Structure 1
Amino acid sequence: MSSHLTFFVEEQSMEAFLRAVLPRLLPDSVHFEIFTFQGKRDLIEKLPKRLRGLAPTLAANSRIVILVDRDDDDCRQLKSELNEIAVQAGLKVRNVGSTDWQVVNRIVIEELEAWYFGDWDAVREAFPRVSANVPRQQQYRDSDGIAGGTWEALERLLKKAGYFAAGVAKIELARKIGQRFQPDRCKSPSFRCFREVVLEAVVGSQ
Protein backbone atom coordinates (compact mmCIF):
# COMPACT_ATOMS: atom_id res chain seq x y z
CA MET A 1 0.00 0.00 0.00
CA SER A 2 1.37 3.41 -0.95
CA SER A 3 1.79 6.19 1.60
CA HIS A 4 1.51 9.94 1.27
CA LEU A 5 3.49 12.60 3.13
CA THR A 6 2.70 16.31 3.11
CA PHE A 7 5.48 18.69 4.12
CA PHE A 8 4.98 22.29 5.21
CA VAL A 9 8.22 24.29 5.05
CA GLU A 10 8.96 27.95 5.59
CA GLU A 11 11.12 28.78 2.58
CA GLN A 12 12.04 27.75 -0.95
CA SER A 13 15.56 26.61 -0.09
CA MET A 14 14.18 23.92 2.22
CA GLU A 15 11.80 22.81 -0.52
CA ALA A 16 14.68 22.57 -3.00
CA PHE A 17 16.73 20.58 -0.50
CA LEU A 18 13.91 18.15 0.31
CA ARG A 19 13.06 17.57 -3.34
CA ALA A 20 16.66 16.49 -3.86
CA VAL A 21 16.96 14.37 -0.70
CA LEU A 22 13.58 12.73 -0.14
CA PRO A 23 13.68 10.43 -3.19
CA ARG A 24 16.79 8.82 -1.68
CA LEU A 25 15.28 8.62 1.80
CA LEU A 26 11.79 7.36 1.00
CA PRO A 27 10.69 4.06 -0.58
CA ASP A 28 9.35 4.27 -4.13
CA SER A 29 5.85 3.53 -2.82
CA VAL A 30 5.74 6.81 -0.88
CA HIS A 31 4.40 9.92 -2.56
CA PHE A 32 5.04 13.38 -1.17
CA GLU A 33 4.13 17.00 -1.74
CA ILE A 34 5.69 20.14 -0.32
CA PHE A 35 3.97 23.42 0.51
CA THR A 36 6.23 26.43 0.91
CA PHE A 37 5.51 29.64 2.80
CA GLN A 38 7.09 33.08 2.92
CA GLY A 39 8.99 32.55 6.14
CA LYS A 40 8.21 31.06 9.54
CA ARG A 41 5.71 33.70 10.64
CA ASP A 42 3.77 33.27 7.40
CA LEU A 43 3.68 29.51 7.91
CA ILE A 44 2.48 29.78 11.50
CA GLU A 45 -0.19 32.36 10.62
CA LYS A 46 -1.60 30.29 7.74
CA LEU A 47 -1.16 26.87 9.33
CA PRO A 48 -4.48 26.74 11.25
CA LYS A 49 -6.54 27.24 8.09
CA ARG A 50 -4.42 24.79 6.10
CA LEU A 51 -4.69 22.06 8.72
CA ARG A 52 -8.42 22.58 9.23
CA GLY A 53 -8.84 22.13 5.49
CA LEU A 54 -6.87 18.88 5.46
CA ALA A 55 -8.23 17.31 8.64
CA PRO A 56 -11.65 16.05 7.44
CA THR A 57 -10.26 14.18 4.44
CA LEU A 58 -6.82 13.08 5.63
CA ALA A 59 -6.45 9.44 4.64
CA ALA A 60 -5.23 6.76 7.04
CA ASN A 61 -2.07 6.32 4.96
CA SER A 62 -1.23 10.05 5.05
CA ARG A 63 0.94 12.01 7.46
CA ILE A 64 1.81 15.71 7.74
CA VAL A 65 5.33 16.90 8.59
CA ILE A 66 5.79 20.55 9.58
CA LEU A 67 9.37 21.77 9.43
CA VAL A 68 10.53 25.15 10.73
CA ASP A 69 13.82 26.74 11.74
CA ARG A 70 14.38 27.44 15.40
CA ASP A 71 16.26 30.68 14.71
CA ASP A 72 16.28 32.50 18.06
CA ASP A 73 13.03 31.00 19.35
CA ASP A 74 12.71 28.74 22.36
CA CYS A 75 12.54 25.25 20.86
CA ARG A 76 10.01 23.81 23.31
CA GLN A 77 7.76 26.84 23.15
CA LEU A 78 7.82 26.84 19.35
CA LYS A 79 7.00 23.14 19.15
CA SER A 80 4.22 23.56 21.72
CA GLU A 81 2.69 26.36 19.64
CA LEU A 82 2.75 24.22 16.50
CA ASN A 83 1.32 21.21 18.33
CA GLU A 84 -1.55 23.29 19.68
CA ILE A 85 -2.42 24.52 16.19
CA ALA A 86 -2.64 20.92 14.98
CA VAL A 87 -4.76 19.83 17.95
CA GLN A 88 -7.15 22.74 17.45
CA ALA A 89 -7.52 21.64 13.82
CA GLY A 90 -8.68 18.22 15.02
CA LEU A 91 -5.53 16.29 14.17
CA LYS A 92 -3.55 13.82 16.28
CA VAL A 93 -0.05 15.05 17.11
CA ARG A 94 2.88 12.69 17.45
CA ASN A 95 3.91 12.00 21.03
CA VAL A 96 6.52 9.64 22.41
CA GLY A 97 5.24 6.09 22.05
CA SER A 98 2.28 6.98 19.84
CA THR A 99 1.81 5.25 16.50
CA ASP A 100 -1.50 6.58 15.19
CA TRP A 101 -0.45 10.22 14.85
CA GLN A 102 -1.31 12.42 11.87
CA VAL A 103 0.97 15.44 12.35
CA VAL A 104 4.53 15.87 13.55
CA ASN A 105 6.40 19.12 14.09
CA ARG A 106 10.15 19.16 13.64
CA ILE A 107 12.49 22.04 14.49
CA VAL A 108 15.65 22.64 12.47
CA ILE A 109 18.38 23.78 14.87
CA GLU A 110 19.06 26.44 14.07
CA GLU A 111 18.46 26.51 10.32
CA LEU A 112 18.87 24.38 7.20
CA GLU A 113 22.57 25.15 6.87
CA ALA A 114 23.24 23.19 10.08
CA TRP A 115 22.28 20.07 8.13
CA TYR A 116 24.88 20.95 5.49
CA PHE A 117 27.57 21.13 8.18
CA GLY A 118 26.36 17.71 9.35
CA ASP A 119 27.28 16.21 5.98
CA TRP A 120 30.34 18.22 5.05
CA ASP A 121 31.31 15.62 2.44
CA ALA A 122 28.23 16.66 0.47
CA VAL A 123 29.31 20.31 0.66
CA ARG A 124 32.79 19.39 -0.58
CA GLU A 125 31.37 17.32 -3.44
CA ALA A 126 29.33 20.32 -4.53
CA PHE A 127 32.10 22.86 -3.87
CA PRO A 128 35.47 21.04 -3.99
CA ARG A 129 37.60 24.02 -2.99
CA VAL A 130 36.16 24.29 0.53
CA SER A 131 38.41 22.95 3.27
CA ALA A 132 38.11 19.29 4.23
CA ASN A 133 39.18 20.19 7.77
CA VAL A 134 36.07 22.17 8.66
CA PRO A 135 34.35 19.37 10.68
CA ARG A 136 37.51 18.97 12.76
CA GLN A 137 37.63 22.63 13.75
CA GLN A 138 36.23 23.22 17.21
CA GLN A 139 33.66 25.84 16.20
CA TYR A 140 32.13 23.51 13.60
CA ARG A 141 32.23 20.13 15.35
CA ASP A 142 28.65 20.45 16.60
CA SER A 143 26.70 21.29 13.46
CA ASP A 144 23.61 22.27 15.47
CA GLY A 145 25.58 24.47 17.86
CA ILE A 146 27.62 26.75 15.62
CA ALA A 147 27.84 30.19 17.21
CA GLY A 148 26.91 33.28 15.22
CA GLY A 149 24.56 31.56 12.79
CA THR A 150 25.10 28.58 10.50
CA TRP A 151 24.11 30.52 7.38
CA GLU A 152 26.68 33.22 8.07
CA ALA A 153 29.36 30.63 8.85
CA LEU A 154 28.70 28.70 5.65
CA GLU A 155 28.69 31.87 3.57
CA ARG A 156 32.09 32.86 4.97
CA LEU A 157 33.58 29.44 4.22
CA LEU A 158 32.23 29.37 0.67
CA LYS A 159 33.46 32.87 -0.11
CA LYS A 160 36.85 32.09 1.41
CA ALA A 161 37.10 29.17 -1.03
CA GLY A 162 36.26 31.48 -3.95
CA TYR A 163 32.57 30.73 -4.42
CA PHE A 164 29.64 33.16 -4.65
CA ALA A 165 31.68 36.36 -4.59
CA ALA A 166 28.54 38.33 -5.42
CA GLY A 167 26.44 36.63 -2.74
CA VAL A 168 25.29 33.09 -2.03
CA ALA A 169 22.16 31.91 -3.84
CA LYS A 170 20.37 29.87 -1.17
CA ILE A 171 18.10 27.89 -3.49
CA GLU A 172 20.95 26.95 -5.82
CA LEU A 173 23.01 25.99 -2.79
CA ALA A 174 20.21 23.81 -1.40
CA ARG A 175 19.76 22.04 -4.71
CA LYS A 176 23.46 21.37 -5.26
CA ILE A 177 24.15 20.11 -1.76
CA GLY A 178 20.86 18.22 -1.60
CA GLN A 179 21.76 16.25 -4.72
CA ARG A 180 24.90 15.00 -2.96
CA PHE A 181 23.57 14.78 0.59
CA GLN A 182 23.50 11.32 2.17
CA PRO A 183 20.84 11.01 4.90
CA ASP A 184 22.66 8.15 6.63
CA ARG A 185 25.86 10.19 6.75
CA CYS A 186 24.58 13.42 8.27
CA LYS A 187 25.69 14.01 11.86
CA SER A 188 23.29 16.86 12.64
CA PRO A 189 21.10 15.78 15.60
CA SER A 190 18.13 17.77 14.31
CA PHE A 191 18.41 16.13 10.89
CA ARG A 192 18.62 12.72 12.49
CA CYS A 193 15.41 13.47 14.39
CA PHE A 194 13.79 14.56 11.14
CA ARG A 195 14.98 11.44 9.30
CA GLU A 196 13.76 9.19 12.11
CA VAL A 197 10.28 10.65 12.17
CA VAL A 198 9.93 10.60 8.37
CA LEU A 199 10.80 6.91 8.29
CA GLU A 200 8.42 6.31 11.19
CA ALA A 201 5.68 8.11 9.28
CA VAL A 202 6.17 5.82 6.31
CA VAL A 203 6.05 2.64 8.40
CA GLY A 204 3.09 3.81 10.47
CA SER A 205 0.98 4.81 7.49
CA GLN A 206 1.35 1.56 5.54
Structure 2
Amino acid sequence: MPDIGTFNATMISAGIPTIFIDASELGLKGTELQEDINGSDDWLKKFETIRAHGALKMGLINSLEEAATRQHTPKIAFVSKPKNYTSSSNKPIQVDDVDLLVRAMSMGKLHHAMMGTAAVAIACAASVEGTVVNIAAGGGVRDGVTFGHPSGTLKVGAVASKSNDSWSVDRAIMSRSARILMEGWVRVPSDTF
Protein backbone atom coordinates (compact mmCIF):
# COMPACT_ATOMS: atom_id res chain seq x y z
CA MET A 1 0.00 0.00 0.00
CA PRO A 2 1.31 3.49 -0.81
CA ASP A 3 2.40 5.87 1.95
CA ILE A 4 -0.42 8.36 2.33
CA GLY A 5 0.94 10.45 5.19
CA THR A 6 -1.23 11.75 8.00
CA PHE A 7 -4.22 14.06 7.93
CA ASN A 8 -7.36 14.91 9.86
CA ALA A 9 -10.46 12.93 8.99
CA THR A 10 -14.07 12.78 10.07
CA MET A 11 -15.55 9.28 10.10
CA ILE A 12 -19.32 9.07 10.26
CA SER A 13 -21.87 6.32 9.98
CA ALA A 14 -25.00 8.14 8.83
CA GLY A 15 -26.61 7.39 5.49
CA ILE A 16 -23.56 5.27 4.69
CA PRO A 17 -20.23 4.96 6.52
CA THR A 18 -18.08 7.76 5.10
CA ILE A 19 -14.61 9.17 5.69
CA PHE A 20 -14.27 12.90 5.03
CA ILE A 21 -10.89 14.53 4.41
CA ASP A 22 -9.94 18.14 3.64
CA ALA A 23 -8.95 18.20 -0.04
CA SER A 24 -6.01 20.54 0.60
CA GLU A 25 -4.45 18.07 3.07
CA LEU A 26 -4.34 15.56 0.21
CA GLY A 27 -2.94 18.10 -2.25
CA LEU A 28 -6.26 18.43 -4.10
CA LYS A 29 -8.40 21.49 -4.85
CA GLY A 30 -11.86 20.02 -4.32
CA THR A 31 -12.91 20.99 -7.86
CA GLU A 32 -11.68 17.77 -9.47
CA LEU A 33 -13.85 15.93 -11.98
CA GLN A 34 -13.90 12.20 -12.75
CA GLU A 35 -11.03 12.13 -15.23
CA ASP A 36 -8.75 13.97 -12.78
CA ILE A 37 -8.95 11.11 -10.28
CA ASN A 38 -10.10 8.07 -12.26
CA GLY A 39 -7.33 8.58 -14.81
CA SER A 40 -4.63 8.39 -12.12
CA ASP A 41 -3.55 5.03 -10.75
CA ASP A 42 -1.67 6.90 -7.99
CA TRP A 43 -4.83 8.65 -6.75
CA LEU A 44 -6.92 5.49 -6.98
CA LYS A 45 -4.33 3.56 -4.93
CA LYS A 46 -4.10 6.35 -2.34
CA PHE A 47 -7.86 6.49 -1.92
CA GLU A 48 -8.08 2.71 -1.63
CA THR A 49 -5.38 2.78 1.06
CA ILE A 50 -7.30 5.46 2.98
CA ARG A 51 -10.53 3.49 2.58
CA ALA A 52 -8.95 0.26 3.85
CA HIS A 53 -7.41 1.90 6.93
CA GLY A 54 -10.63 3.80 7.60
CA ALA A 55 -12.71 0.62 7.35
CA LEU A 56 -10.43 -0.97 9.94
CA LYS A 57 -10.62 2.07 12.24
CA MET A 58 -14.44 2.19 11.90
CA GLY A 59 -14.74 -1.51 12.79
CA LEU A 60 -16.15 -2.47 9.40
CA ILE A 61 -13.39 -5.04 8.82
CA ASN A 62 -11.05 -6.99 11.10
CA SER A 63 -7.91 -6.80 8.94
CA LEU A 64 -6.63 -4.69 6.05
CA GLU A 65 -6.78 -7.74 3.79
CA GLU A 66 -10.58 -7.83 4.22
CA ALA A 67 -10.92 -4.39 2.57
CA ALA A 68 -10.67 -5.94 -0.90
CA THR A 69 -13.80 -8.00 -0.19
CA ARG A 70 -15.76 -5.01 1.12
CA GLN A 71 -15.55 -2.43 -1.67
CA HIS A 72 -18.85 -0.65 -1.00
CA THR A 73 -18.01 0.90 2.39
CA PRO A 74 -16.79 3.12 3.74
CA LYS A 75 -17.05 5.83 1.11
CA ILE A 76 -14.21 8.35 0.88
CA ALA A 77 -15.03 11.99 0.28
CA PHE A 78 -12.80 15.02 0.07
CA VAL A 79 -14.14 18.47 0.85
CA SER A 80 -13.09 22.06 0.38
CA LYS A 81 -14.29 25.55 0.99
CA PRO A 82 -16.42 26.96 -1.85
CA LYS A 83 -14.67 27.78 -5.13
CA ASN A 84 -15.75 28.57 -8.67
CA TYR A 85 -15.62 25.52 -10.93
CA THR A 86 -17.18 24.12 -14.06
CA SER A 87 -19.30 21.00 -13.67
CA SER A 88 -18.95 17.91 -15.84
CA SER A 89 -21.82 19.23 -18.00
CA ASN A 90 -19.94 22.53 -18.50
CA LYS A 91 -22.26 24.43 -16.14
CA PRO A 92 -20.40 27.12 -14.19
CA ILE A 93 -20.84 26.79 -10.43
CA GLN A 94 -20.07 30.03 -8.61
CA VAL A 95 -18.50 30.31 -5.18
CA ASP A 96 -21.71 31.96 -3.89
CA ASP A 97 -23.87 29.03 -5.09
CA VAL A 98 -22.48 26.59 -2.52
CA ASP A 99 -21.38 26.30 1.11
CA LEU A 100 -18.66 23.74 0.32
CA LEU A 101 -17.43 21.35 -2.36
CA VAL A 102 -17.52 17.56 -1.98
CA ARG A 103 -16.13 14.81 -4.21
CA ALA A 104 -16.82 11.18 -3.27
CA MET A 105 -15.30 7.86 -4.21
CA SER A 106 -17.59 4.90 -4.84
CA MET A 107 -16.46 1.38 -5.68
CA GLY A 108 -12.91 2.59 -6.28
CA LYS A 109 -13.74 5.49 -8.62
CA LEU A 110 -14.69 9.15 -8.28
CA HIS A 111 -18.48 9.30 -8.56
CA HIS A 112 -19.93 11.36 -11.42
CA ALA A 113 -22.26 13.23 -9.03
CA MET A 114 -23.11 12.24 -5.44
CA MET A 115 -24.64 9.09 -4.03
CA GLY A 116 -27.85 9.70 -2.06
CA THR A 117 -26.57 7.90 1.01
CA ALA A 118 -23.35 9.95 0.94
CA ALA A 119 -25.45 13.13 0.66
CA VAL A 120 -27.10 12.15 3.95
CA ALA A 121 -23.63 11.62 5.48
CA ILE A 122 -22.60 15.10 4.24
CA ALA A 123 -25.71 16.67 5.83
CA CYS A 124 -25.08 14.92 9.13
CA ALA A 125 -21.36 15.72 9.23
CA ALA A 126 -22.04 19.37 8.38
CA SER A 127 -24.44 19.63 11.34
CA VAL A 128 -21.80 18.49 13.85
CA GLU A 129 -19.53 21.37 14.86
CA GLY A 130 -15.83 20.80 14.30
CA THR A 131 -16.03 18.05 11.68
CA VAL A 132 -14.01 18.40 8.49
CA VAL A 133 -17.29 18.97 6.61
CA ASN A 134 -18.59 21.55 9.08
CA ILE A 135 -15.32 23.50 8.95
CA ALA A 136 -15.24 23.47 5.12
CA ALA A 137 -18.80 24.84 5.15
CA GLY A 138 -17.80 27.73 7.39
CA GLY A 139 -18.18 26.15 10.83
CA GLY A 140 -20.67 26.84 13.57
CA VAL A 141 -24.18 25.55 14.08
CA ARG A 142 -25.65 24.46 10.74
CA ASP A 143 -28.88 22.71 9.87
CA GLY A 144 -28.36 22.71 6.12
CA VAL A 145 -25.76 23.11 3.38
CA THR A 146 -25.67 23.33 -0.37
CA PHE A 147 -22.66 21.49 -1.70
CA GLY A 148 -21.05 21.40 -5.10
CA HIS A 149 -20.27 18.02 -6.65
CA PRO A 150 -18.88 17.05 -10.08
CA SER A 151 -22.18 17.43 -11.92
CA GLY A 152 -23.81 20.31 -10.03
CA THR A 153 -25.16 21.20 -6.60
CA LEU A 154 -27.38 19.60 -3.97
CA LYS A 155 -29.01 21.00 -0.86
CA VAL A 156 -29.16 18.78 2.24
CA GLY A 157 -29.91 19.27 5.90
CA ALA A 158 -29.65 17.63 9.28
CA VAL A 159 -30.17 18.39 12.94
CA ALA A 160 -27.71 16.85 15.37
CA SER A 161 -27.56 16.98 19.14
CA LYS A 162 -24.80 16.29 21.61
CA SER A 163 -25.31 14.32 24.80
CA ASN A 164 -22.24 13.98 27.02
CA ASP A 165 -19.43 13.29 24.50
CA SER A 166 -21.61 11.63 21.87
CA TRP A 167 -23.41 13.14 18.88
CA SER A 168 -26.60 11.77 17.38
CA VAL A 169 -28.55 12.90 14.36
CA ASP A 170 -32.17 13.70 15.10
CA ARG A 171 -33.23 14.44 11.53
CA ALA A 172 -31.73 14.39 8.03
CA ILE A 173 -33.23 15.98 4.93
CA MET A 174 -32.25 15.47 1.34
CA SER A 175 -33.87 15.89 -2.04
CA ARG A 176 -32.97 14.45 -5.39
CA SER A 177 -33.47 16.00 -8.75
CA ALA A 178 -35.01 13.69 -11.28
CA ARG A 179 -34.11 13.72 -14.92
CA ILE A 180 -36.57 13.03 -17.70
CA LEU A 181 -36.25 9.37 -18.63
CA MET A 182 -38.55 9.37 -21.65
CA GLU A 183 -40.85 11.53 -23.70
CA GLY A 184 -43.11 10.33 -26.45
CA TRP A 185 -46.53 9.98 -27.92
CA VAL A 186 -49.01 7.17 -27.90
CA ARG A 187 -51.43 6.85 -30.82
CA VAL A 188 -54.86 5.85 -29.60
CA PRO A 189 -57.50 5.15 -32.29
CA SER A 190 -60.34 7.70 -32.20
CA ASP A 191 -63.01 4.96 -31.97
CA THR A 192 -61.58 3.89 -28.57
CA PHE A 193 -63.50 6.62 -26.79
Band the TM-score falls in, shorter-chain normalisation: under 0.3
Q: Which has the larger radius of gyration?
A: 2
TM-score, normalised to structure 1, is: 0.25
Say which structure is richer in helix.
1
TM-score, normalised to structure 2, is: 0.26
Which one scores higher on RCO, CA 8 angstroms, separation ≥ 6? Answer: 1
Say which structure is richer in strand.
2
